Amino acid sequence: MQIETNPFLCGRPVTDPTGFFGRQNELRRLQSHLRNLHWVSIVGPRRIGKTSLLLHLCHADVATKLGLGSPKFVMAFIDCQGLTEIGTREWWSLLVERAAKAAGHTPGPAPRTGFEFREAIRRVLAPDQKLVLICDEFEYMAKNPHLNADFFSLLRSLSTDASVAMITASCAPLLELTYSDKSVLSSPFFNVFNTLRIGLLDEPAARALLSRPEAGFAPETVNFLLELAGPHPFYLQLAGHIAFEQQQEGRLEEKSAERVRRELAEAMEPHLKYAWEHLSTQARHTLITLSLARPGEAALEELEAACLVHNGNYLSPLVEDFVRRQTTPDVLQVGELLVDLRRRRALWSQKPLYLSDLSYRLLCYFLAHTDQPIHWLQLEREVWGQLEALPEDYIGNPERVNAGVDRLRKALVEAGVGNPILLQSDFYTFQSNRVGTCPS
């Protein structure tokens, strides 16, 4: 069997325009801004395709179609990764060098002052040429301890020229980045940028990415992968890569679906962990209790910006599976059974459980002590003791404990949770492995 080259990328930006899908609205907005030499800050979460978008914009054929091609427009691309320690003069030289190279000119002597830097930028351009300085991974530029407010103010002064525009790309808006020199935040540098946020692909672009002819996926495979990954470009590339490898080995059949799901979940895990760790406490709480969120909540907007939520639901089943394994204050959780202590609400598969006050308290206690044997008298003192004063010499009433637990057990069984509460020799145990799985 002939082994074909896998057309799906894993961790690398898209450099071939034929492998770039979607982002037409973003490209139109960039086209409009750059034709007017507006400065643009592209903002989007990790792995959402910021670098791919910038490289696509810089491709000669694409730039020409957008009316931003050479010789009138000169695109100077700079990846700021690894440039956290070079000084001001080195930055001036680098910017001039990249601009000159893009324009097809020799950069000339290295600038020693801000004035020489501005003059050097002007010299590399013909009278009718426009320069677009593109700084990808701008966070690394912000971390540079050698770049102060004066440096960024000098950059900003280029915006007064009728021949220079700048594009930055970062995960957070420019004003929310952590700058090594705090004085930078007072610089007028930030006042000239228009923010362009990028997020998930639209459904047609996501489907087109998976349906490319060289992949050879059947329509049902495309549907399966799109459901698993959601319209996230990086996760779609991972899903396509895994499925293509199995298809080349002759194993992409219905019975291999679980293997694709497992391998994709493993590949997504570190990226989801990174996203989770960078969420606010409120956003984590909202993500776990997603069905209780209301449109317009700041935390929900944060989750949508992080591309973990799409149209009010989890991005994909794999994202939901990941969330079910996380913990956060004020939420008790076992699989898809959880209690939101802030709202005093119990949920099963994001659907409300209608419990009496006593059953709710019992469930909270059990979820806080899963897989631990609890004597009925301890349970009575801890739960019923919240509702009434029990004397220290109280000997207990096992019948009412049994009746209360039976009512909770019945509610859980009727809701489809199963029967996780066992009684053995006066000890109750809430067994986490007996909590059911919701049908997908």
**Per-residue pLDDT tens digits for 157-177:** 998 887 999 999 999 999 999
Give the orientation angle of helix 317-324 with respect to helix 257-277, to 10 degrees.
60
CB 127, CB 66: distance < 8 Å: no
CB 404, CB 387: distance < 8 Å: no
Q: What is the mean pLDDT of the chain?
A: 92
Q: pTM for the whole thing?
A: 0.90
Return the pLDDT at 262: 94
* Domain topology for 23-197: Rossmann fold (3.40.50)
CB 316, CB 322: distance < 8 Å: no
Q: Residue 337 phi/psi, 5° resolution?
A: -100, 125
Which of 16-25, 133-142, 332-341, 380-389 comes out lowest in average pLDDT? Answer: 380-389
Return the pLDDT at 1: 47
CA angle centred on 221, ends 216 and 227, rounded to 5°: 135
Structure tokens at 200: 């998930």
CB 287, CB 309: distance < 8 Å: yes
pLDDT at 20 over 50: yes
Distance CA 230, CA 210 (A): 12
CB atoms within 10 A of CB 211: 18
**Per-residue pLDDT tens digits for 248-297:** 877 656 567 888 999 999 999 999 999 999 999 999 999 999 999 998 89
Of the two residues 239 and 106, the one the predictor is more confident about is: 239
**Pick among 1.10.10.60, 1.10.3720.10, 1.20.1440.120, 1.10.10.10: CATH of 335-434:** 1.10.10.10
Q: Residue 105 phi/psi, 5° resolution?
A: -120, 170
Summarize the confidence of residues 349-373 as an average pLDDT: 95
